[in-house]
Structure 1
Amino acid sequence: MSTYWDRERLLRSTILAGFAAAGLAISPAYAQDQQQDEDEQSEDTAASEDTIVVTGSRIRRDAFASVAPLQVIDSQEIRDAGLIDTAQILQTSSVAQGVQLDNTIGGAFVTDAGPGSNTITLRGLNPDQTLLLINGRRVAPSGVEGAPSLPNVDIIPTDAIQRIDILLDGASSVYGSDAVAGVVNVILRDNFEGFQVGAYTNSPEESGGGSHRWNMMVGDSSENGRFMFSMEYFHQDSLQVNDRDWNYDPTDGLYCSRDIEIADDGSLLSECEGAIINRVRTYNYYVNGQPDLASYYANPGLYGTDVYSTPGSSDTGIPGWSFGDSTNEAYRSSYLDQTTDIIPDSQRYSFLFTGDYTIDRFLGQENVTVFTELLHTNSQTTYKSGYHGQLFPTVRADNPYNPFGFDVVPIFASPIERSNIEVETQYTRFMSGLQGDWSFAPSWSYEVFGGYTRSMGYSRRPAVDEGLLTAVVATTRVENGEIVCGSDDNSTIELFGFLSPNNCVPVNLFHPNLYPNDGSTAPSFGTQEEYDFLRIDRTATTVVDQLIFGGFTTGPLFELPAGEVSGVFGIEWRRDTLDSGTDTVAADGLAAGYFADRRSEGSAQLTEYYAELAIPLVSGVRFAEDISLELAGRLTDHEYYGQNSTYSARASWVMTDFLTLNATMGTSFRAPNLRELFLGGQTGFTSGFADPCVVPNDARGPGNTYDPTNDNRDAVVLANCIAEGVDPTSLGLTGTPSIESFRAGNPSLEPETSDAYSLGFVFDQPFTDRFDASLRVSYFAIEVEDSIAIPGTAFSLGQCYNSTNFPNDPFCARRQRDPNTGLLTFVDNTPFNVATQETNGWDFNGRFNMDFDFLGGFNYDMNATFTKSDEILSRNTAESDLNNFVGDWGSPEWRGAISNRFERGDWSMLWRARYLGEQASIRNVVGVDYGERIEAASELGGDAVDSWDAVWYHDLSISYDQDTWAVTFGVNNLFNEEPAIIDQDASGATLGSGNEVLGSGYDLLGRRFFARVSKAW
């Protein structure tokens, strides 16, 4: 049983600790529900307890007597629930609403934290609106590539965690900038004595995705000091697509990304999705509806058909090449997905030292405690992606490897896996300071501290050298019959300066290995020499530094009739620095199909002044046993944004010994982070079909004609296109080149501000001492003004062309269109203040504890969150489009858990059940209905699977604890519930990988068994 429950019984304060999200003892700490009928023994014991500091305030008080909505994750529950690391601990809590940026996402998408990072998102807001602390002190960002702006929650050794507090109201007035959605405060163990070793393993029933952890701790204490050293190694095995049957269909016997649809008769329709890549595009035309290679010579320049690699057979007259895919030899790019990592392989080494020592006298003060924290973590992650990137260079007729005799475009997947990433980050955090009581005012305490953090990240991505690929295309046969590349027109003139026919390696771009026919075979070059010649590495190195100093003092100010007024007064100074650069390959855009990535560098500093007051207003009055008020204020002086102030007020009204009312309100402030201010210029490319004026695929008929019956674009879009002078019924029918995009920091950004409110009650049953039962119900609401967005190309264009204020809408100023072709050529995706975000809902928490004479102790905890709305109101569109994300991926309407624990002697059993509500592709953005878009993309004649029913995940464990050793055995996902598997097009509307939905709370591993053993001396 949690020691926090024991402490609550001693103090009889209203702490509903243990309202476990999925059995985690995630416990809102409820304030001021003081029970006056406690016996004298408990009162005496409570009086002897030391006061402590609770997350949400720096004022010392009895135990967890906090007015603010607070949830606590207990270390015992972390162990018994089989949770492997801090990311899983936090991301499975009920308040982790919104898509969570974990390491399943970091390799496939560009995120604010970079690849290899795990972050936490609270209340459906952005991850950079949640503040992460260790022992009440800020944690610096870490990551690699671009300009990482978020801290990685996995830097902390799991077994060194005593508890995790999650504060669920705006706390900028207490903890500073970024605490918009809330605060996550990791409290480290500080009282360990002895030597302990431990091991943990988690093994899925099916192959792939297992994880293992080994740890060691040593600690000791004396009259004047104590220390603890912890070392941990963690390894996560990769989980690939072909490790599970989600993407497998026995009809075709293939693992791949699929179109998944439901036919009218209820049957499941499934087909591998993706571009056909084992082909060559020929510039010919059709005779009587049939392709004819010879007709090319009569009609040069006309687009023709594709021919496919068919070794051993041919209907074109060219050995090994056939028309169409009637031979069933067509090879789709999605076949390569079977080796894609859903969960990447990763390992982590963590070292943590904490200690303090009390000096009898220092700087005129007595009993001064010097404290130190030193944390170092090395993380290594390898992402393997099935998407290799397509290559389609034009190969001229005189290339000796070209069997067609005229210019053609081979289309194949690169054997160089450009989407693979190797990431390594090293994170070092040093914090030290002084604590004590003032000699001249013993009832007042103080703390001063300073710290330095450095995160160093390195990434490497394989790529195709674009210059060398151009040289390879310029392959000819010289007069002596030798095949050479890097020269032109059968001459020896060097085209690339450093390259000559002597060191250029000719590559056969028509080799059968590049055009596999078997769905289980990946493309490869004809020789290893060809691979080595074209491959280059694209690397990035990122350094993030944080220097911080601060101090505060706290103690009683004066007496009121209801009690003592206490206060806190403090100051904090911080400087963040970023230097993120790339090699010349990345900086100059030398890799084929990759964007240019310029250096990101900059710094920002601020000074903050803050104060808190705890005021008892009424005590011992009928229907007002205790009424108290907490006030906090902070003044932030930012280098770029001047002075900004925030405040908070929290009230608690203990009406009786069983009913307490709580209310909070507060403001928060978040200045643009280093990424939003100093991100170096990054260029990228988006499909030309993101242009709303281009004829969509579904509205294209035979022979590249326009079919209006399948055009689902809104009338306002068509009208705006026509007003711009382009024809939305013909644009792009003859070709849709990619649209270049650009992204960089924006020094003109305004800071975000927010208001947060909560109102609720706590009912603690007063009828019997035989058991404890409590219920808390709370309403919450958060409104963020001037929310900062880094828009994507499709989002910006959707805002522009769906606007009734076209072309004066601010989004319309962010794109350029070629006056000759009418096609879009450029979109600016620089971040800017785009919207107001509002979220509100209800938290429900319940607890039941009872001791049975025969069965032992029984504890029941319930935690649930109902999100009523999560809306974005754009300030830049005339029609003020309102978008509600509740029910979308990552934001179910209901999320919660129940936990049941039985304890008898040294034995305990935990059963927990975690609930995720229904999620679907329901997002509507400025008139663009993703559901309609997905249905329009259905290719098999059915309704696309774009939603997933509510699901319960059940876990069960048994633990045996003695004085020096402990063992736990358990099973996660007891009933082997599958994650959300949806249509490929629907997955593309969220952060999905193939058909899997990532970052939305679903269990990707299936049933798995875990064991933990520890031994102490």
Structure 2
Amino acid sequence: MYALARCKTEGRRKQHHEGVCNVSSYWDRERLLRSTILAGFAAAGLTVAPSFAQQADEDDEDEEQAEQSGDNIVVTGSRIRRDSFSSTSPLQVIDAETVTEAGLVDTAEIIRSVPVIQGAQLDATINNSFVTNGGPGVNNVSLRGLSADRTLILINGRRMSPAGVEGAPSFPDLNLIPSSIIQRVDILLDGASSVYGSDAVAGVVNVITQQDYEGLNIEGYVSIPEEGGGENQRYSILVGDRSERGGFTFAMEYYDQQNLRILDRDYNRSPSGFYCSQDIDLDASGNQITSAATRPNTCGGSIINRVRVYSFLARPGGGLLLGTDVYRTPGRDGVALNNVAAGGDARSPGDWFVAWAGAGSTAAQNATARTYMSNLPENQSYVANQFTDMLPANTRYNMFFTGDYDIDSLFGLEGTSFFFEASHSNSQTFNDSNYHGQLFPTVPDTNPTNPFTYNNGASFFGYGVVPIIASPVQRSDVDVEIQQTRLLTGLRGDLGFIGAPGWDFEAFASYTRSMGYSSRGAVLEERLRLSLGTTRFDGGGNLVCGDQAYQDLFGFLDPENCVPVNMFAPSLYIYNPETGPQWGTTAERDFLTGERTVTTKVDELVAGAFVTGPLFNLPDGEVSGVFGWEFREIGLDSGVDTIARLGLAAGFFADQLSVGSVNLNEAYAELSFPLLRGRTFAEDLTFDVAARLTDHEFYGQNSTWAAKLSWSPVDYLTFRGTAGTSFRAPNVRELFLGGQTGFTGGGADPCVVPFAATQSGNYVRTDDPRSDTVLNNCIADGVDPTTLGQNGVPSIQSFRAGNPGLDPETSDSISVGFAIDQPWFDAFDFQFGVNYYEINIEDSIAIPGTAFSLNRCYNSTNYPNDPFCARRQRDPNTGFLSFVDNTPFNIAQQTSQGVDYNARFGMDIWGGTRLEASTVWTQSLEITNQTTPGSAVNDFVGTIGFPEWRGTTDARIIAGDWTFFWRGRYIGEQNNLGIFGAAEPACEFGATCVDVLDDVDSVLYHDVSVNWRSDTWRVTVGVNNALNEDPPLVDQNTADATLSGTNVPLGAGYDLIGRRFFVNVAKRF
């Protein structure tokens, strides 16, 4: 598809199509008018496309025709109809032609291709690895580093509804927009609450779809990586027709993304040969220490395949183990822990377990104790990690239908048409985490399956032991299906039939239903507890379990179902990396394994109407206005099954139902004043104002406003500025989330002693990177920060729920800029624009991450009175953190500040061949938050996910039917050194290490393609990431870096797949 950036319409019936233009010829390479380019650059916008006019006389002719026809268009950022594609707001535009040349077919990736997308993006890599707003399987986008909560997504100028699963999704899922229907994407870069309502704080993404299309187009796209994994394909049909009275456009699309596993890419391979998240240490020259001899095992992972014993016995051979936790790996030599001699089998003569071998233990049990995991290390979780998906498999089916029909002859409403849109989308995602998690239940000494202590006399000296194994159930594997059906209809036309010539109206109503389904495997906790706590021998020497004390005399209650479970079965310790451990018997598997399911429904009803037209005349033009009303209601019903609701799955707390609804009414107005036109030093001076009054069900009445000024002293130079306010009430997630759990590695606890500080066998303060403030606060918390976690640390449970006590956010923003379109040389075109922006949010709603909250608490000089310290709980028995509250709350403020730079160049070079180039850059000057007034201000610019500089440059040579395209994508350097008081990662591997890798260099990706077309065919062949640039890596302990089984920062825009070849073929009939 090739988008038009200006309208060439015929007849009055097309003038009301908001934001879109008639595609009169599918294969035409339409260009923006020179006035359009100037206005766009004055708004610091960039049409990220070859939008130069090839011939100035053609532009002038088209512009003249548009003026003569009297047709007006609507540009994102205003509902006022104008006579050219111009905007007083900062606007960037992506058109479908460039999307095709760049080899992009995923809507989320299309939108993220511009550098104004800043901050860690909630893409497939993050949403499938962490507990997030939309849940697994969705794709969101964030402008200006202010999160997806503050970016409004529109389709043809109307709000797109939230979709997702688990918890309370409040963001739209970009997977549900078929890319084959996109004509262009407008990105509005100032606060637009006064025009579009809540959520438009950082800006607006408006997806404009193909309309008025005539013909049939069949298109296919395939992308094949040079290395295996990550293949994707898309096939689509676009069909449309028009008559004198109306027309329709219909698109249907199939998209398939294959998964990409950690082992599919060598940049995940550690020096020890495993594919894992690892420690990356640097020597004195700044080079990575890669010697396997120096770094025998650099992988991180969980402790598994070991036994934890707690005893009050005297150890055979001397010495006391009074209250000592001992971790042993039976059948292996290993590192001595807690003064227990290494080596030996668990039941061999002379080993410390031998004194507990009772006469009742069997030879089979002895053999089990000696041989389980006899030939594998005690830490094998990283072996399974290599099969984890970095990118999950995703399949989508999308349909989109739009049309209109003139009804003036039917009802006597002259110039009135009926319009409608309908869409249905289905997105299916399976994320194979291969993460089994730990199971470490206590097996009591009275349980006959316990080979260490059972039947030791009267079990007087016995005590339960804790086998630490990998769960046979991969609890983080998730199967997701998300569906969305959207229906919209309305009337639009002119009001001449009521005696208001020149005035137009539009009234519409839409209804959207989104359904999400997810399922995860689960170990049924209550059944495991029942079995381990009641297993015994019956009178015939058979293992039985269950509570036999209760007898139902009349058989009214079904017999209790219980299966004896042997936590020392060899199959639980023979670790197949692809399948994981297995229960000892099929009966055990069926008894203990269940499914944890969630069904999420989101309904949204929107209705509105507005009128627009001329109000009165000024000396140099007509003052136009828009007056409108909108009603919106959104309802949420996210239900969990019994396993999830009652917390019956091992490793999960109970998740609660998320139910609620909210509605609001809004009235709005816009005015545009053409103050001066065609005057000396005032070729154009336009002043626009907008205001909106919001009546929220829970937060009452609030108002927002915007003022915009555009001044062109001459036709090639424009200055512009905007100022305004925004309002965002808490969304359905922030209000109604019933309760959702997640997990963070125990190493996020600042009180856990770093390995580097104890690698010599004793704690060494100079090797501990933590500050004295942290250590003192940990001591004040009742734990010893020099020993805590030496023998392993459990995961930290996190919890978040809605908070009806939240206050709404308010914000103000400004932007100023200029653009110049050189008029002096006919040999080439050149435009340059600069835009400065600043956004300040008060009472910002924040959902802190676990690691961030803990770092803020233990680095605080106001401990324990820092607000973040009230959000965590520590187990008084173990000393480990057991709970962190991540419920949203209002913080003092959040800001974003920066500069956009845009430049465009074009010239004819020889024989009809043309060179075109465009570049757009964003420099982030400030992205901050402040928890309370007077507290420290945290600036994220330069940290991972928030580079100071991002840029995209496109160049193309057009020679007849051939186009040669190049794109460069730049992401600036970043680091998390000591971010917000967090300790820097410490060296893990000896004296040769002087630093760890916790910063990343800048990255430049190259994409190239060749495009050929005829009247009915178009073929594009290209290469993405042509130089096969690997993504940067950071040490696995880097503070606040979003990592999951790999050392690549996720959501930061880095290419995980590598070099890949694509072909796109389209045939038009």
Superposition TM-score, scaled by structure 2 size: 0.87
Match of 2:810 in 1: 753
Helix, strand or coil: the match of 2:504? strand
Q: Residues of 2 paired with 1:36 and 1:520: CA distance?
A: 63
Cα separation, 2, equivalents of 1:923 and 1:63: 51
Q: Deviations over 1:434-491 (max 9, x none)?
A: 0001112231111000000010111000010001212332433222121223358xx8
Q: Does 1:380 align with 2:428?
A: yes
Q: CA deviation at 1:921?
A: 2.3
**Structure 1 804/731 Cα, relative in aligned 2: closer, same or farther at 3 Å?**
same
Instruction: Please say if residues 221 and 1064 of structure 2, whose CA atoms lie closer than 8 Å, have aligned partners that are also in contact.
Output: yes
**Match among 305, 327, 332 for residue 305 of structure 1:** 327
Cα distance in 1, alignment partners of residues 241 and 738 from structure 2: 48
SS across alignment from 2:138:
coil
Aligned to 1:272: 299
C-alpha deviation, 1:138, in angstroms: 0.5
Hey, what's the Cα distance between the residues in 1 that align with 2:65 and 2:45?
31
1:14 aligns with 38
Deviation at 1:154, TM superposition (A): 1.8
How is 1:628-639 mapped onto 2 (pairs within 5 angstroms)?
628-639=686-697
Return the offset for 1:820. 8.2
> Which structure 1 residue ranges, 5 or more long, are not aligned?
30-34
Which residue of structure 1 aligns with residue 1041 of structure 2?
989
Contact 1:17–1:72, Cα closer than 8 Å, also in 2: no
Q: Give how far 1:996 is off.
A: 2.2
Q: CA RMSD in A?
A: 3.4
Gapped regions of structure 2 (runs ≥ 5): 7-29, 334-342, 349-365, 455-463
Any conservation in 1 of the 2:52–2:906 contact (CA below 8 Å)? Answer: no
Q: Give the CA deviation at 1:372.
A: 0.3
CA distance 1:923–1:436, shift in 2 (3 Å)? farther
CA distance in 1, matches of 2:1015, 2:211: 19
Residues 857-909 of structure 1 deviation map (CA, whole Å, 9 limit, x = unaligned): 22111111111121112216x5x111111122221111111111121222212
In the superposition, relative to structure 1, how do residues 22 and 330 fare at CA in structure 2: closer, same or farther (>3 Å)? farther
Identity between Structure 1 and Structure 2 (%): 52
Indicate whether 1:482 and 2:526 are aligned. no
Could you list the per-position Cα deviations for residues 731-777 of structure 1 after superposition, in whole angstroms to 9, with x for gaps in the alignment? Answer: 77899776655422111111111111111111111112222110011
Which stretch has the larger CA shift, 387-396 or 510-519? Answer: 510-519
In structure 2, the CA distance between the partners of 1:274 and 1:857, relative to structure 1 (3 Å rule), is same
In 2, Cα distance between equivalents of 1:517 and 1:310: 16
| 1:44 counterpart residue number | 64
Partners of 2:647 and 2:575 in 1: how far apart?
33
- For residue 649 of structure 1, the aligned residue among 699, 707, 715 is 707
Query: What is the CA deviation profile of residues 791-840 of structure 1, one whole-angstrom value per residue up to 9, with x for unaligned ones?
Result: 23443344344444444443344445677887766543321101311111
Q: Quick check: 753-762 or 669-678, which moved more?
A: 753-762
**2-structure distance, mates of 1:360, 1:464:** 64
Partner of 2:194: 173
Q: Deviation per CA, 1:257-286: give whole Å up to 9, x if none.
A: 222222335342352221331222234699
Q: Which amino acid aligns with 1:114?
A: G
Aligned to 1:4: 5
1-structure distance, mates of 2:1005, 2:306: 45
Q: Please state whether the residue corresponding to 2:32 is helix, strand or coil.
A: helix
Residue of structure 1 equivalent to 2:522: 463
SS at match of 1:513: helix
Partner of 2:356: none
Structure 2 CA distance, aligned partners of 1:43 and 1:458?
Answer: 51
Q: Which residue, out of 206, 214, 217, partners 2:235?
A: 214
Task: Tell me the CA shift for residue 39 of structure 1.
Answer: 10
Given that residues 820 and 831 in structure 2 are in contact (C-alpha distance below 8 angstroms), is that contact kept between their aligned partners in structure 1? yes
Q: Give the Cα–Cα distance (whole angstroms) in 1 for the partners of residues 344 and 1036 of structure 2.
A: 33
Alignment partner of 1:8: what SS?
coil
Q: More displaced, 114-123 or 788-797?
A: 788-797
Q: Partner of 1:127 in structure 2?
A: 148
- Alpha-carbon separation, structure 1, partners of 2:59 and 2:1026: 44
**After alignment, is 986-995 or 111-120 more displaced?**
986-995
Q: What is the aligned partner in structure 2 of residue 32 from structure 1?
A: none
Residues of 2 paired with 1:760 and 1:18: CA distance? Answer: 6
Q: What secondary structure is seen at the aligned counterpart in 1 of 2:474?
A: coil
* Shift in CA distance, 359/638, structure 1 to aligned 2, threshold 3 Å: same
CA distance in 2, matches of 1:161, 1:36: 27
Deviations 1:508-558 (A, max 9, x none): 322233223676773223344432321100000100010010011111111
Partner of 2:362: none
**Structure 1 partner of 2:733:** 675
Aligned runs of 1:26-37 on 2, under 5 Å? Answer: none
Q: Which whole-Å deviations, capped at 9, do the CAs of 1:939-994 have from their partners, x for residues lacking one?
A: 89632222221111111111112222211111111010111222222287325442
CA contact (8 A) 2:36 2:85 kept: no
Secondary structure of the 1:985 match is coil
AA of the residue aligned to 1:935: A
| Structure 2 counterpart SS, 1:986 | coil
Structure-2 change in CA distance of 1:106 and 1:937 (3 Å): farther
AA in 1 matched with 2:911 = F
| Aligned-pair CA distance for 1:584 | 0.7
Structure 2 equivalent of residue 246 of structure 1: 267
Q: CA deviation at 1:502?
A: 8.4
Query: 2:457 maps to what in 1?
Result: none
Question: Which of 590, 595, 602 is the equivalent residue of 2:653?
Answer: 595
Which residue in 2 is equivalent to 1:605? 663
Q: Does the aligned pair in 2 maintain the 1:987–1:996 contact within 8 Å?
A: no
Return the offset for 1:198. Answer: 1.5
CA distance in 1, matches of 2:120, 2:767: 32
What are the superposed Cα offsets for residues 411-449 of structure 1, whole Å, 9 maximum, x if unpaired?
111111111000011101111110001112231111000
2:118 is the counterpart of 1:97: yes
Whole-angstrom distance in 1 between the partners of 2:268 and 2:792:
32
CA distance 1:236–1:727, shift in 2 (3 Å): closer
Question: Residues 601 and 648 from structure 1, CA distance in 2 versus in 1: closer, same or farther, beyond 3 angstroms?
Answer: same
The match for 1:1005 is 1057
Distance 1:814 1:984 in 2: 25
Match of 2:220 among 199, 206, 209: 199
Task: Give the letter for the 1:453 counterpart.
Answer: T
Please state how far the C-alpha of 1:41 moved relative to its aligned partner. 4.9
Is 1:522 the counterpart of 2:549 in the alignment?
no
SS in 1 for 2:986: helix
How far apart, in 1, do the equivalents of 2:161 and 2:811 lie?
22
Q: CA deviation at 1:107?
A: 1.5
Match of 1:919 in 2: 974
Q: TM-score, normalised by structure 1?
A: 0.91
**Corresponding residue number in structure 2 for 1:934:** 985
In the TM superposition, residue 614 of structure 1 has moved relative to its aligned partner by 0.9
Q: How far apart are the structure 2 equivalents of 1:955 and 1:900? A: 11
Q: In the aligned structure 2, how far is the partner of 1:523 from the partner of 1:279?
A: 14
Aligned pairs for 1:387-398 within 5 A = 387-398=435-446
CA displacement at 1:336 relative to structure 2: 1.1
Which of these residues, 332, 337, 356, is aligned with residue 404 of structure 2? Answer: 356
Is the counterpart of residue 898 in structure 1 residue 920 in structure 2?
A: no
Query: By percentage of residues, which structure has more strand?
Result: 1
1:846 aligned partner, one-letter code: A
Assess if the C-alpha contact under 8 Å between 1:456 and 1:544 holds in 2: yes
> Quick one: which of 22, 25, 28 aligns to 2:49?
25
Q: Which residue in 2 is equivalent to 1:963?
A: 1015
Between 709-718 and 416-425, report the one with greater CA deviation.
709-718
Alignment check: 8 A CA contact 2:631 2:666 kept = yes
Structure-2 change in CA distance of 1:240 and 1:728 (3 Å): closer
Residue 66 of structure 1 deviates from its aligned partner by 0.6
The residue correspondences of 1:114-513 to structure 2 (distance < 5 A) are: 114-249=135-270, 252-264=272-284, 266-269=287-290, 271-283=298-310, 299=321, 301-308=323-330, 315-316=345-346, 317=348, 319=367, 329-361=377-409, 365-405=413-453, 407-439=464-496, 440-474=499-533, 475-486=535-546, 503-513=561-571
Please say which of residues 789-798 and 126-135 is displaced more in the overlay: 789-798
2:654 is aligned with what amino acid? A
